[in-house]
Amino acid sequence: MGLFNKFKQIFVPGNKENIAAYDKGLEKTRKEFVSELNLLGLKFHKVTDDYYDELEHILIKADIGVKTVHNFLNRLKKRVKEESISDPKFLQEVIVDELFMIYVEGESLTDKIKMAETGPTVILTVGVNGVGKTTTIGKLASKYIKEGKKVMLVAGDTFRAGAVPQLEEWAKTTGSLFVGKEKADPASVIFDGLDKALKENVDIVLIDTAGRLQNKVNLMNELEKINKVIGKHIPDAPHETLLIIDATTGQNGISQASSFKEITNITGIVLTKLDGTAKGGIVLAIKEEVNLPVKFIGLGEGVNDLKPFDIEEYIYGLFKDM
pLDDT digits over 269-313, tens only?
999 999 999 888 898 888 888 889 999 999 988 899 999 998 888
Whether 11 shows a pLDDT value over 60: the answer reads: no
Task: Return d(Cα 25, Cα 194) in angstroms, integer.
Answer: 36
Burial class (CB in 10 A: 0-12, 13-18, 19+), 118: exposed
Distance CA 304, CA 125 (A): 19
Closest by alpha carbon to 162, among 180, 179, 174, 142? 180
How does DSSP classify residue 183?
Answer: T
Lowest mean pLDDT among 94-108, 113-127, 186-200, 249-263: 94-108
A 10 A CB-CB count for 190 gives: 28
Q: Which amino acid is at 41?
A: G
Predicted model pTM: 0.90
- Sequence-distant (6+) residues with CB within 8 A of 49 are none
Q: Determine contact, residues 242/267, Cβ cutoff 8 Å.
A: yes
Stretch among 71-75, 211-215, 250-254, 255-259 having the lowest mean pLDDT = 211-215
Buried b or exposed e, range 65-87, using 16+ CB within 10 angstroms: beebbeebbeebeeebeeeeeee
Residue 6 vs residue 152, higher pLDDT: 152
- Kindly report the average pLDDT of the chain as a whole number: 89
**Nearest one of 305, 17, 266 to 139, comparing CA atoms:** 305
Query: In the chain, what are the helix, strand and coil shares in percent, each to the nearest 5?
Result: 55, 10, 35
pLDDT given for residue 139 in this prediction: 97
Between CA 319 and CA 322 the distance in angstroms is 6
Domains in the chain, CATH or no CATH each: 15-104 (1.20.120.140), 121-310 (3.40.50.300)
Cα–Cα distance for residue pair 184/241, rounded to 1 Å = 22
The stretch 233-255 carries a mean pLDDT of: 93
